[in-house]
Structure 1
Amino acid sequence: MLLGRFLLGVAEAGFTPAVYYLFSKWFIRAYRPLVLVIYSALLGVSSVLGPTLAGFLVEGGDNLDIASFPGWRFLLLILGIFALIAAIPARLFIVESPAEAPWLTSLEKDRYQAILDADAERANVPSVSSWQVIRDWRPWVMGIGFFSMFYATYTITVWAPTIVFGFQQQFDTHFTTLQASLIAGIPMLFGVLCAFAAALLAGRTGRSAPLAAAAALIGAAGCVSTTFATGPFSTIASLSMVALAGQVGANLFIPIVTRVFAGSGAYAAIALVNSMGAFAGFVSPTVTGWLADLTSNQNSGFYVMSIVLVIGAGITVFTEQRAREVERSRIR
């Protein structure tokens, strides 16, 4: 069981960086922010529907009443079958570049590749090795910025339901479980919608970093305003500002990486940055929960998160400046 979970984690760890890398091979820089938002929005939908579906499968497996095969095993079996089925179209249709796409004609491949090549030539990003990426300070700094955005996302994902259920004691409200679940989902829905709008704007301007930095600062303000909220509406509004930082900031940060690194170096850089962001999934809920237990309230966790987001905004601006310097040096 432990070996199986370890191998599953290894497979999952490389999935998102591979997707980001494929996006860089299929879409020009102006379209990447929007594509990343669509991908992340679907991940958000799965995080909402997944637990519900899992609950049904576990209950269904228990109702089958098969000896030595409880509901959680039935859940893993069905998920494994789904993964195997999904692997078939993935193998047939996911290719590394348009030149390898069997559904395109030779003329379409040439035109598509010419557009991508022209965009890459304008960017003038040289390919570097994975080892060069690891020794480079830039992806590590980018990873810290990405970590700060995901810090907000994971905090909202984990703690929003707890905060909403606490409204009854704090504000004397009465919600059913379904109502509380729907209310807890409002901040993430708002964040996803803002991410779509920001991605469209970033696609027009060609610069995603200013929007990502602004989103982080808005999230920091939302963290502070959450501690002064006097009712459910103001609390949800403040949490929505924090969710905006996570959704907009995280999705607009990766395009900066592809402006600095290309080829196998881009995959390595994205993997490194994404791994540091994923680490926030452990740090954020743990630190927030620890501070809540230590101080007997949740305000301290939001103050810490506001500081993290301000640092993330600063790193985003700093990284953008470095990216522009690199681009100007290549033009010379």
Structure 2
Amino acid sequence: MSNPTKQHDVLRKVAFRLLPMLMVLYFLNYLDKVNVGFAALEMNADIGLSSAAYGLGAGLFFVGYFFFEVPSNLLLTKFGARIWITRIVLTWGVIAASMSLVQGETSFYILRFLLGVAEAGFFPGIVYLLGVWFPRQQRARILSYVYAAAPVSFLLGSPVSAFLMDQGHGFAGMPGWRFMFAAEGLVTVVAGIVAFFVLVDRPTKAKWLTAQEGEELERRVAAEDAAVDATHNASSIRSAFTGRVFLLSFVYFGIAYGIYAVGFFLPQAIKGFEGQFGLTLSGMQIGLMSAIPYGFATAAMLYWSRRSDARGERIYHVLIPALVGGVALTFSFALGSPFAVMAGITVAAIGMFCCIPVFWQIPASFLTGAAAAAGIGVINSIGNLSGFFAPYLAGYLRDVTGSYQPGMLVAGLFMIASGFLVVLVAGPR
């Protein structure tokens, strides 16, 4: 497969077979993770949750995620990505649907924690699987296609969640937010069943590649990994627990902090435009407005990842959007009109999401094999603890000050710090 045209054709075939399924799963993953932000428009009042209690429950997801992330990723290398990712999707779908049964603070906290346990290992599993199938030079662009499902889940998920809440109200006597949780969770279960028959662990197991295509693609990726391993001893499991890995975890913590601070509270903040600016909005209008920043973020992320791959540069492709997004988020909620606030949040969303696909190529530059699975798990689990602190602190500050601005100021500062930190810890590129 030395012919570049032949190589390109094989990779196109791989992308066509795997990426649509992974994008659907990741869309549902983000939707089931953050649809609680939209449910909160009704749920908090129905079951008596304060902003701080809601933020704590929203964040407990990431505590469960933290404790089970690395073990889940190591089990993935034992059982194979196909079986393990399917297991993850099925269990999180069942628990996500069970969110429709929440009765108060305690059950809300328990189910959010269990949802995090169930989802642990999913995104690192995708990163690991793509690393088996695609050469390094193309991985940021390929990962950006999958990760595009995250902003798209906000883009489409907000109006879809609003629609389900509106139309499902009264179904079997339940309020709309309960119907929304049940419907979206059951869709995830169905997607998990389909994934079992679509995903393939490695090129030589794919029936839709010829034996020669599978062997040569696998050999090409293995040769790249061997070259990295020769330089960094990258396959040693100890490589996953170095200072460099932990410092990259804090870089990811700051970037993800901004994403979760906005994701969990943007619908409620837009609803607050009524008191702040005298702007009355329906649930569907709130959903559509919540989607605007993520539409722009999706397009920008795809362009930025392609640019990073073309130039073979990662560090400044993380630094620049982290600084721009952080500064925008710091000031967005202090602006004097709903249009200015939405413009600021849109710039912040572009910065946040442009960072992520490029960022994940940095640990891949010095980790391979089981060390890559464990190292990506370490970075993702520590980084995603921001999903606990961001909603809880933002909710607490909202209760104390009556404004979302202090919480977003903290989030913006974390993003700015991440931008500077990635330059210090990334090492050879």
Q: TM-score, normalised by structure 2?
A: 0.65
Corresponding letter in the other structure for 1:113? E
- State the shift of 1:249 in Å: 1.6
| Aligned residues of 2:328 and 2:345 also touching (Cα < 8 A) | yes
**For residue 327 of structure 1, what is the aligned residue in structure 2?**
none
Corresponding letter in the other structure for 1:143? S
* 1:83/1:307 CA distance change after superposition, 3 Å: closer
* 1:87/1:188 CA distance change after superposition, 3 Å: closer
User: Is 2:321 aligned against 1:211?
Assistant: no
1:108 pairs with one of 213, 217, 229: 213
**For residue 291 of structure 1, what is the aligned residue in structure 2?**
397
User: Is 2:202 aligned against 1:97?
Assistant: yes
Secondary structure at the counterpart of residue 185 of structure 1: helix
Alpha-carbon distance in structure 2 between the residues aligned to 1:6 and 1:99: 38
1:128 pairs with one of 215, 235, 243: 235
- More displaced, 41-50 or 229-238? 41-50
**For residue 142 of structure 2, what is the aligned residue in structure 1?**
35
Corresponding letter in the other structure for 1:102? K
- More displaced, 115-124 or 255-264? 115-124
**For residue 16 of structure 1, what is the aligned residue in structure 2?**
123
* 1:224/1:78 CA distance change after superposition, 3 Å: closer
Q: TM-score, normalised by structure 1?
A: 0.83
Alpha-carbon distance in structure 2 between the residues aligned to 1:78 and 1:301: 29
Corresponding letter in the other structure for 2:203? P
| Aligned residues of 1:217 and 1:309 also touching (Cα < 8 A) | yes
The C-alpha deviation readout for 1:138-159, integer Å capped at 9, x for no partner, is 2211111111111111111122
Alpha-carbon distance in structure 2 between the residues aligned to 1:147 and 1:30: 25
Question: How large is the RMSD of aligned CA atoms in angstroms?
Answer: 3.0
- Output aligned runs, 1:154-233, within 5 Å: 154-233=260-339
Alpha-carbon distance in structure 2 between the residues aligned to 1:173 and 1:79: 33
Alpha-carbon distance in structure 2 between the residues aligned to 1:304 and 1:241: 17
* 1:52/1:169 CA distance change after superposition, 3 Å: closer
Alpha-carbon distance in structure 2 between the residues aligned to 1:292 and 1:5: 21
Number of residue pairs matched? 316
* 1:54/1:43 CA distance change after superposition, 3 Å: farther
Alpha-carbon distance in structure 2 between the residues aligned to 1:15 and 1:29: 21
- More displaced, 241-250 or 267-276? 241-250
In structure 1, list runs of 5 or more residues that go unmatched.
Answer: 66-70, 325-332
- More displaced, 18-27 or 82-91? 82-91
Alpha-carbon distance in structure 1 between the residues aligned to 2:414 and 2:251: 9
Alpha-carbon distance in structure 1 between the residues aligned to 2:333 and 2:179: 42
Corresponding letter in the other structure for 2:208? W
| Aligned residues of 1:191 and 1:247 also touching (Cα < 8 A) | yes
In structure 2, list runs of 5 or more residues that go unmatched.
Answer: 1-97, 99-106
**For residue 271 of structure 1, what is the aligned residue in structure 2?**
377
The C-alpha deviation readout for 1:205-242, integer Å capped at 9, x for no partner, is 12222111111100121023315412122111111122
Corresponding letter in the other structure for 1:18? G
* 1:182/1:5 CA distance change after superposition, 3 Å: closer
Alpha-carbon distance in structure 2 between the residues aligned to 1:258 and 1:274: 13
Secondary structure at the counterpart of residue 283 of structure 1: helix
**For residue 311 of structure 1, what is the aligned residue in structure 2?**
417
The C-alpha deviation readout for 1:58-79, integer Å capped at 9, x for no partner, is 658616x9xxxxx959965984
- Output aligned runs, 1:79-98, within 5 Å: 79=185, 82=187, 85-98=190-203
| Aligned residues of 2:248 and 2:425 also touching (Cα < 8 A) | yes
* 1:86/1:188 CA distance change after superposition, 3 Å: closer
| Aligned residues of 2:394 and 2:404 also touching (Cα < 8 A) | yes
**For residue 330 of structure 1, what is the aligned residue in structure 2?**
none
- State the shift of 1:177 in Å: 2.8
Secondary structure at the counterpart of residue 313 of structure 2: coil
* 1:72/1:309 CA distance change after superposition, 3 Å: closer
The C-alpha deviation readout for 1:247-277, integer Å capped at 9, x for no partner, is 1122221111111211000001111111122
Secondary structure at the counterpart of residue 365 of structure 2: helix
- State the shift of 1:5 in Å: 7.3
Alpha-carbon distance in structure 2 between the residues aligned to 1:191 and 1:10: 29
1:246 pairs with one of 336, 352, 361: 352
